[in-house]
């Protein structure tokens, strides 16, 4: 078996792309999108008709509503290919506004349901800020399941677990990026690979904590830079992987062993951890990597959301 087939024996494989025309060759269970991936997709000639038809059908509506219609349209196309769930993201510019996040999330789910897609097949993707986590807690109570993204710190994972969030996406590659840049010339790529990769270690710590304490929130490693990071997390609940890395996994028949195991985690001596809002904000502040990468990620997604707005405005002019 190739490595992708081996990985699927231990982990649910998710495709990290807005390019739904690519999906079938990898046979993923789920798919995830984000503003950057959708922006990239709509600039592809293959998707130009989808963008144009969606904008024309709703051109009289406010801009934010057109955006949501387009996101849902992409999600619908993805769900024709994957048997499981699609993650659709709330505008990153609302990351510190719980009420506005609730409004957008409910509207997105409403659009999916109006099109005949049950809410069980959709995850609303929200940045793992304190406000985002609080919004997700309310949405989960309404049967709207969430994927908390831009997750870099253990305290974010703790808060998501306490909030009963369906799924979290810790960003392996961006954690790796920060530590590599911080180390500069002292970075030893070989020594920091695989199980020693700081992004891999972050996900392992979260996974073990959740399994040890019976927290039901699913852990989905995300943002990979190489297949070594993926192999080192085999056994994680889910892994969302970009098409280029899925292709590399398909091309290799090297042995792949389970690296994360729930039974082993349940036997670990790990203390229970909970955070008040003040404790959460302090723990996040104390983690320079997480603070910087969370802010950077929100800014980048917000910038791409703005570019998407401009594209849509150009279409309906």
pLDDT tens, position by position, 256-290: 999 999 999 999 999 999 999 999 999 999 999 99
Residue ranges of the chain with pLDDT lower than 70? none
* Whole-structure pTM value: 0.97
**Active site residue: 125, 181, 211, 216, which one?**
125
Tell me the CATH number at 175.
3.20.20.70
What are the backbone angles phi and psi of residue 263, rounded to the nearest 5°? -65, -40
Whole-angstrom Cα distance, residue 26 to residue 4?
8
86 contacts: CB under 8 Å, gap ≥ 6: 30, 31, 32, 33, 75, 78, 79, 121, 122, 123
State the pLDDT at residue 8: 98
Q: Give me the pLDDT at residue 208, please.
A: 98
Q: How many domains does the chain have?
A: 1
Beta bridge partner(s), residue 125: 89, 147
Determine phi and psi for 10, rounding to 5 degrees.
-115, -20
Tell me if residue 125 is catalytic: yes
- Least Cα distance to 31 among 106, 123, 115 occurs for 123
Question: Would you state the pLDDT for residue 35?
Answer: 81
pLDDT at 317: 77
Query: In terms of residue numbers, what domain contains 306?
Result: 3-316
């Amino acid at each position: 078996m190739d490595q992708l087939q081996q990985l699927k024996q231990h982990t649910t494989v998710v495709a990290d792309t807005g390019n739904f025309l690519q999906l079938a060759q990898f046979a993923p269970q789920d798919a995830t999108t984000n503003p950057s991936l959708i922006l990239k997709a709509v600039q592809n000639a293959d998707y130009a008709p989808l963008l144009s038809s969606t904008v024309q059908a709703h051109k009289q509506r406010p801009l934010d509503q057109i955006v949501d219609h387009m996101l849902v349209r992409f999600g619908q196309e993805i769900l024709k290919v994957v048997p499981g769930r699609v993650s659709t993201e709330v505008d990153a510019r609302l990351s510190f506004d719980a009420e506005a996040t609730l409004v957008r999330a409910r509207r997105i789910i409403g659009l999916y349901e109006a099109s005949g897609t049950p809410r069980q097949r959709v995850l609303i993707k929200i940045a793992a800020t304190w406000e985002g986590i609080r919004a997700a807690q309310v949405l989960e109570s309404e049967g709207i399941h969430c994927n908390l993204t831009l997750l870099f710190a253990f305290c974010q994972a703790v808060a998501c677990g306490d909030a009963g969030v369906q799924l979290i996406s810790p960003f392996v590659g961006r954690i790796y990026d920060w530590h590599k840049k911080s180390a500069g010339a002292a970075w030893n790529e070989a020594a920091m690979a695989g199980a020693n990769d700081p992004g891999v270690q972050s996900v392992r710590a979260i996974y073990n904590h959740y399994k040890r304490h019976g927290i039901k929130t699913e852990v989905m490693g995300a943002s990979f830079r190489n297949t070594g990071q993926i192999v080192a997390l085999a056994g994680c609940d889910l892994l969302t992987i970009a098409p280029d890395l899925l292709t590399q996994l398909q091309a290799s028949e090297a042995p792949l062993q389970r690296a994360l195991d729930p039974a082993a985690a349940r036997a670990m001596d790990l203390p229970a951890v909970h955070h008040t809002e003040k404790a959460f904000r302090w723990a996040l502040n104390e983690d320079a990597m997480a603070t910087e990468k969370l802010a950077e990620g929100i800014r980048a997604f917000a910038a791409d959301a703005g570019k998407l707005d401009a594209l849509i405005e150009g279409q309906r002019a």
